[in-house]
Amino acid sequence: MPLVRVELPAGKPAEYRAAVGEAIQQAMHAALKVPLQERFHIFTEHAPADLVIDQTYLGIERSVDAIVVQVTLNEGRDAEVKRGFYRTLADGLRERIGLRPEDLVVNLVEVKRENWSFGNGEAQLV
């Protein structure tokens, strides 16, 4: 059960956010084997001065439409699986909302299973 945070420029319509969420969920399902119904997404919009993404880091030309997707998930997936997720997500966002692959920054944060509580003050995964 990943927790997804999406940081994006302010002013995007609800349909845009929904399409981003659907692309993320489909990519996690296809590449990371996350069940489709396990959806925990947080969207935060930022004014231009509050979403600072280096526009040329590593020689990649990013635009003002760049977004950051951070996924906190259980540890244990290998680099090949993660690369597959990055590619699947970039392709899905291009198809759904026309986001250039250059405008997608992804960060995976791996945690141990005991670092989750889904309610009732319990650690359900241990």
Report which DSSP code applies to 57.
G
26 CB burial (10 A radius; 0-12, 13-18, 19+): middle
66-87 burial, b at 16+ Cβ within 10 Å, e below that, comes to bbbbbbbbbeebeeeebebbbe
User: Choosing from 2, 9, 13, 35, which is the catalytic residue?
Assistant: 2
Q: Residue 35 to residues 12, 23, 40, 96: CA-CA distances in angstroms? A: 27, 14, 12, 20
For this structure, is 2 an active site residue?
yes
By annotation, the residues acting in catalysis are 2
